[in-house]
């Protein structure tokens, strides 16, 4: 077992997975504190690295593509402070961090864990139900339905349209984009790939994010929804077999039995030879 305890959090590796526990310091990001403890199974890992620094280093986990719904929906746009798979390491603990890396890498090699993408989520995502208020609205998800309610400062177009409700099975995609500089971000629920994209501030299927403290929590809610949607790498269902023309109609059993009697009479009367009778009888029996 390997363990590293820092003010930023505690990581424990037991050979099967890494238990990630965020620190309790006030400086810990709201996303990590809200997400809480996470266990990353070894099979979900693509790699681990320690990045030394002058004042502090970083331990960083690299997960396999498609293993975690949070990383799937954020697409590399989470900053290091909010990334639950990044741990700030004090310089004096660098040797412990390097030992931790060696232990995890050895386990990955011994278990021959592949680094390629997976076709199902190996982490479950946040528990439900979940409600987050940020930007110009509040988003709620109970496992079946997404509901968006608007605040007093929401654009009049959205506020007049009333709350938006979308069933999980009607969702095509979920988009999360953080605010950057003067550009607002958004959490958008896409119900049709061909629908025109309105600015998030006027889109009744989107929450506009303005870069405030609670914005990253919308990424958590987005991951809870994505975790319950079809996996992007899942195998497509097999196509229905093609048929050439209409299927043949079922034959009348009584008509086939009458045909057998007729063949018997023709054979007895000498019209059909033994060989001809046998061949014709077998053909009728197959159809029967």
Q: Which residue has the tokens 């984009």?
A: 177
| Calpha distance 268→158 (Å, rounded) | 88
Average pLDDT, the chain: 90
The 10s digit of each residue's pLDDT in 22-50 is: 999 889 999 999 999 999 999 999 999 99
Which percentage of the chain shows pLDDT scores above 70?
87
Q: φ, ψ for residue 221 (rounded to 5)? A: -65, -40
Rounded to 5°, the CA angle 155-213-218 comes to 65
For the cut 70, the answer to whether the pLDDT of residue 250 exceeds it is: no
Residue 16 has pLDDT above 70, yes or no: yes
- In the predicted model, is pLDDT for residue 146 greater than 70? yes
Percentage of the chain surpassing pLDDT 90? 73
- Mean pLDDT to the nearest integer, 97-125: 96
Query: Which parts of the chain fold into alpha helices (H)?
Result: 30-35, 69-74, 94-110, 156-161, 217-226, 253-268, 274-287
Q: Which pTM was predicted?
A: 0.79
Q: What is the DSSP letter of 64?
A: P
Residue 251 confidence (pLDDT) above 70 = no
* 279 confidence band (pLDDT: 50, 70, 90): low
Block residue for tokens 């003067």: 182
Do 3 and 94 meet the contact criterion of CB atoms below 8 Å apart? no
- Residue 88 host element (H or E): strand 86-90
Q: What's the pLDDT band for 245 if we cut at 50, 70, 90?
A: low
> 36: alpha, beta or left, given left = phi > 0 and alpha = psi -120 to 50?
left
Predicted confidence (pLDDT) at residue 134 exceeds the cutoff of 70: yes
Q: Give the C-alpha separation, 37 to 33, whole Å.
A: 9
The 10s digit of each residue's pLDDT in 83-107 is: 999 999 999 999 999 999 999 999 9
């Amino acid at each position: 077992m390997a363990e590293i305890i820092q003010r930023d959090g505690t990581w424990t590796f037991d050979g099967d997975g890494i238990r990630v526990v965020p620190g309790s310091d006030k400086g810990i990001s709201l996303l990590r504190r809200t997400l809480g403890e996470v266990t990353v199974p070894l099979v979900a890992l693509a790699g681990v690295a320690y990045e030394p620094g002058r004042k502090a280093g970083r331990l960083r986990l690299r997960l396999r593509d498609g293993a975690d719904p949070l990383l799937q929906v954020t697409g590399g746009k989470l900053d290091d402070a909010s990334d639950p798979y990044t741990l700030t390491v004090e310089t004096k603990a660098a040797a412990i961090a390097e030992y931790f890396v060696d232990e995890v890498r050895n386990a990955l090699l011994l278990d021959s864990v592949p680094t390629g993408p997976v076709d199902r989520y190996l982490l479950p995502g946040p528990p439900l139900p979940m409600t987050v208020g940020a930007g110009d609205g509040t988003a709620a998800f109970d496992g079946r339905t997404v509901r968006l309610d608007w605040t007093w400062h929401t654009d009049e177009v959205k506020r007049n349209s009333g709350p938006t409700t979308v069933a999980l099975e009607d969702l095509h995609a979920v988009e999360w984009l953080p605010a950057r500089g003067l550009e607002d971000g958004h959490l958008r629920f896409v119900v049709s790939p061909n629908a025109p994209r309105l600015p998030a501030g006027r889109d009744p299927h989107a929450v506009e994010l303005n870069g405030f403290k609670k914005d990253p929590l919308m990424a958590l809610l987005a991951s809870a929804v994505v975790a319950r949607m079809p996996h992007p790498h899942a195998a497509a269902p097999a196509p229905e077999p093609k048929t050439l023309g209409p299927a043949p109609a079922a034959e009348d059993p009584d008509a086939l039995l009458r045909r057998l009697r007729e063949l018997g009479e023709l054979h007895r009367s000498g019209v059909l030879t033994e060989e001809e009778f046998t061949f014709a009888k077998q053909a009728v029996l197959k159809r029967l």
